[in-house]
Amino acid sequence: MALSGSVLLRSRKGRDRRLFAVFALNVGCWYLTSFLTKLFPAQDEWARLNLVFGVLLPLATVHFFRAFIGEEQPRMKLLHRSALIGAAVIAAAALTPFHHHLVVRMAVLAYVVVFVFAALAMLWARAQQAESKFEGARLVFLSAVGGLAAFFTLFEYLPYLGVDLPPVGTILALVFLYMLYQSVLRYRLIDLYELAGRLGVLTVLSFVLAGVLWLLVRFGGERYFLHAVVASLVVLVLFDPVRLKVRDKIAQLLFRERYDLDRHVQTLRRDVAHVLEANDLARVLMEGLERSRRVTHASLFLAEEGRRHYELVGHLGPAPVERLEMAPAGPLLERLRREGFVVLENVERQLQEMRRLGEDREAETLYEVAQTMAALHASVCLPVQSMEGDLYGILSVRDDRMRDAFSPEEVTLLAGLAAQAAIALENSRHYQRLKERDRLAALGEMAAGLAHEIRNPLGAIKASAQYLTEEQADGEAEGERERGEGDDEFLHIIVEEVDRLNRVVSSFLDYARPATGDPAPTDLNRAVERTLQLLRPECMAAGTALEVALEPELPPVRVDVEQLRQVLINLVQNALQAMEGSGGEIRVETASVERAGGPPWLELRVRDDGPGIPEDVLSHLFVPFVTTKQRGTGLGLAISQRIVAAAGGRIVVRTRVGEGTTFVVRLPATDGRTSVVDVPAALEVEPVSEGAQEGPGASSMSTASSSASGPSPSSGSTSAGAGETPSRVLTSR
């Protein structure tokens, strides 16, 4: 009766609300007369009146559901007439002295069951035929809740048949009656998600507590205090898991679309959290929203730093405007900053209210917001906003299959997705800044090294040219003279330094261009054998032994064979120059090493007996143009690193000062199903070591650069010898 009064006291009373008030009032009168019948069992009038209200209840139910199915629906009209006739007949029988007879009471129960469930079945059928998806979902909810309420109300008729049960039906009927009341008041039924979940959890918990109490009273006697405490602890322990489980089940049964959207949004938020490139953000968002099947239109607008407009970076469905200027979109942007999201339905409702109240200025602002959202093809706009309030962009969504497709809870879910997109965008911008900083740092180091490498030969060229110019001037003053050996020496210096400049620039270009090559399955052992054939004479001339230990039957590696030769030449020449002609041994090995979760590594190891690599040099080993050699370019190991990385491998350096160095090149093995590239016996590289040009006094560290088709390869960074237990290990990936 309170629910009925609550509806009647509201200012807006549509037909469905008035019929619900009548229905609820009928239920209240039925309960009231049931109470009075038990309170005054000697007065037969209350029992008769209770029977009349029980007969009128199905009639009120049919009237109520008829407002949703349609007044002119033929089957509903027939059901209504039949209910009227049946109610009149049973009500007349209730006024006779035979109202206590079992036949009359059975007729009442049959009448209730037939007409209530027939009305519910017709409401369900109407839901399946509804043109609006939203209206269909609303009718399904009404029929489900009404069916549950009617089912538990039937328990109240069992006393007519002499069956006495605890008032379980009363409690559950009132719970579902309250849900029916909320469904009438709230047009957006999906908004009832939280309400239904809370009611379901509280109902289950209430029955659990009532059951525990009943068991304690029934079997515990008067001393059940300790049992009550233990039972309460059990309920508290189980409350959270039961609450989550019940809410999930209610969501799946009554709010399937809301439940599915929640799952899709949570998955999409995890995907967005892994995005590091701003260009990928729009693609991930649009694909995820499309998979949800709740969005037909979506768009993402982002503002570049320092710009005064938002650019469209991705969209789903028909394309909206390409650019959103900040000045015209000011009202929408301000509302997004203030409220966190903007729903077109709310804007239009407020616009009508402002016009009705004569608030023209506020109405004009709302009109501009609505126009901007129309240009975006949006029913909901969400800010992509930082924690500091910077508006990076706008995410808009729309489902054109229904006008108010998203409930407030769903809008909140989508707002969380937009917030996650803002975090991803911030991470992306930080990542780009770090990349730019690293690029500029590497560029600065390369520029400094390149300038140094070019300045030295230019100084020699300038000095030689000045000397020749002065000699020529002196010769002209004293008369013609023949060119002597000194002139030839200076011309030789000029040519040599020009060649050196050419090597520096060629090495720089080798490093600058991508090291892709022509990768193919290659026999590692065969490539090593062919390359070492060319390096042996150089090692013999330096008095260094070159030992080889190759593991047989290795699987192939996918790498460009010429680039692999270049890496091996760099490493062997580095080792040779590290020992500075002092003899010793260079050992080249191949081996297969297992690794978890992938194909085995094939390792190419180059070990020397040199002095090792100092700590201060080791940290800059693969930095371009960093070298301790007087004539080295400092690009050999940098180029080798890029070649190995492009093949999916890495370079590991193990060194101990005074004992030696080992360079380990690790490459992933292939399955070998394609043909293996044969390694030709001849190389187009002249393996000339710059260390031989430097003499024994050369510094111990440099980086080598050798080109498969260029002139003599420049020497590389000296590896210094390897120990069994290395003190320093450097991995370059």
DSSP string, 546-565: EEEEE-SSPPPEEE-HHHHH
Q: Residues 318, 377: contact at Cβ < 8 Å?
A: yes
Report the C-alpha gap between 416 and 261 in whole angstroms: 13
Q: Residue 731: what pLDDT?
A: 47
The pLDDT assigned to 445 comes to 66
- Amino acid symbol at 248: D
Whether 140 shows a pLDDT value over 60: the answer reads yes
Average pLDDT of span 306-311:
79
Give the pLDDT confidence score for residue 638 in this predicted structure: 79
**Per-residue pLDDT reduced to its tens digit, 417-428:** 999 999 988 888
Q: How many helices (H) and strands (E) does the chain have?
A: 21, 14
Residue 720 has pLDDT above 50, yes or no: no
What value does the mean pLDDT of the chain take? Answer: 76
pLDDT at 463 over 90: no
pLDDT above 60 (res 297):
yes
Average pLDDT over residues 530-545: 87
Spell out the residues 6+ positions from residue 310 whose beta carbon is closer than 8 angstroms to its own.
301, 302, 303, 323, 324, 326, 329, 393, 394
Would you state the pLDDT for residue 587? Answer: 92
Indicate the SS3 state at residue 615.
Answer: helix
Per-residue pLDDT of 167-176, as tens digits, reads 666 777 777 7
Please determine, for residue 433, whether its predicted confidence score (pLDDT) is greater than 50.
yes
Burial environment of residue 697 by CB neighbours within 10 A (0 to 12, 13 to 18, 19 or more):
exposed
Report the pLDDT value the prediction gives residue 236, as an integer from 0 to 100. Answer: 79
Q: Please tell me the distance from the alpha carbon of residue 553 to that of residue 561, in angstroms, as a whole number.
A: 18
The answer to which of 93-107, 525-539, 630-644, 713-727 has the lowest mean pLDDT is 713-727
Query: Token pair of 672, please?
Result: 């070998």
Query: pTM for the full model?
Result: 0.45
d(CA 567, CA 578): 17
User: Do the Cβ atoms of 461 and 497 come closer than 8 Å?
Assistant: yes
**Cβ atoms of residues 591 and 605 within 8 Å:** yes
Give the pLDDT of residue 711. Answer: 33
More confident residue, 182 or 709: 182
pLDDT in the model for residue 316: 92
- Tell me the per-residue pLDDT of 115-134, one tens digit each, with 9 for 90 and over: 888 888 887 887 777 665 55
Rg (CA), the chain: 44
| Calpha distance 541→534 (Å, rounded) | 12
pLDDT at 733: 42
Q: What is the pLDDT of residue 511?
A: 59
SS3 label, residue 342: strand
pLDDT band of residue 472 (cuts 50, 70, 90) is: low
pLDDT in tens, 583-618: 788 999 999 988 766 788 899 999 998 888 887 777
Cα 461 to Cα 498: distance, rounded to the nearest angstrom? 8
Query: Residues 83-100: what's their mean pLDDT?
Result: 74
Closest listed residue to residue 570, CA positions, set 516, 614, 633 = 633
Distance between CA 569 and CA 699 in Å, rounded?
19
The dihedral over CA atoms of 19, 20, 25, 31, expressed in degrees to the nearest 10, equals 130
452 or 313, higher pLDDT = 313
For residue range 30-88, what is the model confidence (pLDDT) as tens digits? 889 888 988 888 777 887 888 788 778 878 878 787 777 766 677 777 887 888 887 78
CA–CA gap between residue 676 and residue 682 (Å, rounded): 18
Q: Contact, 640 vs 566, CB < 8 A?
A: yes
Residue by residue, what is the 3-state secondary structure of 259-303?
Answer: HHHHHHHHHHHHHHHCCCCHHHHHHHHHHHHHHHCCCCEEEEEEC
Q: Is 394 left (phi over 0), alpha (psi -120 to 50) or beta?
A: beta
pLDDT single digits (tens) 169-216? 677 777 777 777 777 776 554 455 556 666 777 777 777 777 777 777
pLDDT value of position 730 = 53
What's the average model confidence in pLDDT over 489-504?
72
pLDDT mean over 366-393: 90
With 90 as the cut, is the pLDDT of residue 382 above it? yes
Residue 330: CB atoms within 10 Å = 14
Q: What is the pLDDT of residue 687?
A: 34
pLDDT for residue 384 = 92
- pLDDT tens, position by position, 337-379: 888 899 998 898 889 888 888 888 889 999 999 999 999 999 9
Mean pLDDT of 249-262: 72
- Cα(61)–Cα(242) distance, rounded to whole angstroms? 33
Q: What's the token pair of residue 51?
A: 């029977």
Residue 379 has a pLDDT of: 92
Q: Is pLDDT at 690 greater than 50 in this prediction?
A: no
pLDDT at 299 (0 to 100): 94
Per the structure block, which two tokens stand in for 518? 């022509």
Cα angle at 644 between 641 and 647, to 5 degrees?
145
Counted residue by residue, the chain has a size of 733
The yes-or-no verdict on residue 682 having pLDDT over 50 is: no
Q: What is the Cα 131 distance to its own chain's centre?
A: 35
Higher pLDDT, 664 or 306: 664
pLDDT at position 688 is 33
Question: What whole-number distance in Å separates Cα of residue 509 and Cα of residue 515?
Answer: 11
Q: List the single range of 411-415, 437-441, 566-570 with lowest mean pLDDT.
A: 437-441
Q: Which helix (H) or strand (E) holds 314?
A: strand 309-316
Q: Are 722 and 662 in contact (CB under 8 A)?
A: yes
Share of the chain above pLDDT 70, in %: 71
Separation of CA 616 from chain center: 41
Q: Which of 16-30, 41-55, 461-475, 520-534 has the lowest mean pLDDT?
A: 461-475
For 113, the token pair is: 């069951």
- Exposure on the CB side of residue 371, measured as CA atoms within 13 A: 10
- Taking alpha carbons only, the member of 298, 281, 280, 301 closest to residue 289 is 298
